[in-house]
């Protein structure tokens, strides 16, 4: 294994141990609800539906099977990552992402890659 892989493995082992010993960590009031590692599935939720290319669906299905992670969980993780990255990007250019709303600033078209 590469050094970076060994370090990541050890960090994940430590994280698992910390989370097992402190079940509430990472899910307190300081963490926005959308970033929490766990949530009440019986609570209020919204559905996001998107058509994806067959090749992408097949890759997600393969990874879901290989890694024993449900496709629903994979989508949740991906959405959380993009929300975090988008907020970080807004912060880097001087905005306070938590206080922004589309009613205030409008929307910016995204160039398709």
The 10s digit of each residue's pLDDT in 40-86 is 556 677 888 889 999 999 999 999 999 888 998 899 889 888 888 88
**DSSP category for residue 82:** H
Same domain, yes or no: 52 and 90: yes
Chain center to CA of 103: 25
Look at residue 103 and tell me if it is in a domain.
no
- 48 neighbors 55 (Cβ within 8 angstroms): no
What total of structural domains would you count in the chain? 2
| Alpha carbon 12 to chain centroid, angstroms | 17
- Statement to judge: residues 51 and 30 lie in one domain: no
Residue 18 lies in a domain: yes
Q: Domain containing 2: what range?
A: 1-35
CA-angle at 85, arms to 66 and 43, nearest 5°: 70
Domain presence at residue 108: no
Q: Which residue has the higher pLDDT, 73 or 39?
A: 73
- pLDDT higher than 60, residue 33: yes
Model pLDDT, residue 35: 61
């Amino acid at each position: 294994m590469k050094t970076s892989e060994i370090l990541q493995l050890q960090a994940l082992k430590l994280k698992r141990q910390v989370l097992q010993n402190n079940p509430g960590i990472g899910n307190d009031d300081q963490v926005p609800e959308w970033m929490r590692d766990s949530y009440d599935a019986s609570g209020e939720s919204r559905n996001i539906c998107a058509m994806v290319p067959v090749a992408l669906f097949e890759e997600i299905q393969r990874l879901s099977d290989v890694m024993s992670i449900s496709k629903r969980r994979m989508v949740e993780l991906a959405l959380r990552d993009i929300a975090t990255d988008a907020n970080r990007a807004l912060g880097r250019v001087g905005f306070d992402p938590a206080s922004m709303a589309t009613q205030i600033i409008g929307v910016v078209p995204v160039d398709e890659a």
